[in-house]
Amino acid sequence: FNNLQNLGMCGHATIGLAVTLAHLGRIAPGRHKFETPVGVVEVTLHDANTASVVNVESYRLHKDVTVEVEGHGPVTGDVAWGGNWFFLVKDSPIALRPSEIRPLTDLTLRVRAALEKAGVTGSEGAWIDHIELFGPPEDPANQSRNFVLCPGGAYDRSPCGTGCSAKIACLAADGVLAPGRDWVQESVIGSTYRVSYQPGTGGGVVPTVTGQAFVTSEATLIFDRSDPYRSGIRP
């Protein structure tokens, strides 16, 4: 399983994939390589539930971009790549707690729309499909807390592996996080990733994201030959 095709570049999905393959007996603890649409990522499975992902090289494209957000006013953030394109807002205007998920979602959707209206993009006109808000952690042992809007409009229950990679790239560019030093990122629900980086070869950083996943169920799909919709519904 060194060549898994069509895996979207998603940090927590990659950690979950490694843990699931181990649960199925397909891989053992150790180093593995997965192919993704944005490049090869290396995964170290530490135990049944813990894995580290060495992500693709990440970098900040633009610093301190300000857009006018409908119903809110100006919002300033950085544009960075971490396997997906992100707009990272350093100080969230809304408290990062589960009770505020709806307002946080509404705000980030408006921020994304404001970026589109202003013509702010990633490299070569790429759509900035993830919006990431930051604030102080609830646990003083951690460095930060975030809320991440995903492309489909849902929020990320994890701290977001590619989002953490983009954040680390910004911290490195600002000179506030040294290579090899850990950064512990909380999500809006309190889950955490431990992230560090090494300098990349293209001017960015190569992040390592460590987190956990747990197998919660197994399912058996039954395709009855008499079921006209056994392969799904196609338009």
Beta bridge partners of 31: 44
Separation CA 25–CA 36 (nearest Å): 22
Residue reference for tokens 């990679």 = 165
The residue from 150, 160, 164, 170 that is catalytic is 160
Q: What are phi and psi of 12, to 5 degrees?
A: -70, -30
Q: How far is CA 24 from CA 19, 27, 33, 101, in A?
A: 9, 8, 17, 34
Contact 58, 205 (CB under 8 A): yes
Q: How far is CA 190 from CA 82, 186, 197, in A?
A: 21, 5, 22
Active site annotation includes 170: no
Q: Where in the chain is the domain with CATH 3.10.310.10?
A: 59-210
Q: Indicate yes or no: pTM above 0.85.
A: yes
> In the numeric block, which tokens belong to residue 177?
């996080």
Q: Identify which of 205, 175, 206, 179 has the alpha carbon closest to the alpha carbon of residue 54.
A: 206
Q: What are the tens digits of pLDDT across the range 80-110?
A: 999 999 999 999 999 999 999 999 999 999 9
Separation CA 91–CA 103 (nearest Å): 15
Amino acid at 24: L
The band of 219, judged by pLDDT with boundaries at 50, 70 and 90, is very high
**What pLDDT, on a 0 to 100 scale, did the predictor assign at position 3?**
37
Contact 95, 188 (CB under 8 A): no
Active site annotation includes 10: yes
The residue from 10, 150, 164, 170 that is catalytic is 10
Please state which CATH number belongs to domain 59-210: 3.10.310.10
Q: What are the tens digits of pLDDT across the range 154-209?
A: 999 999 999 999 999 999 999 999 999 999 999 999 999 999 999 999 999 999 99
Mean pLDDT of 12-35: 91
Strands (E), the chain: 30-36, 39-45, 50-54, 59-69, 73-81, 85-89, 130-135, 144-149, 183-186, 192-199, 205-212
Strands lying side by side in the sheet with 183-186: 30-36, 39-45, 50-54, 205-212, 192-199, 183-186, 144-149, 130-135, 85-89, 73-81, 59-69
- Kindly tell me if the per-residue pLDDT of 1 is higher than 70: no
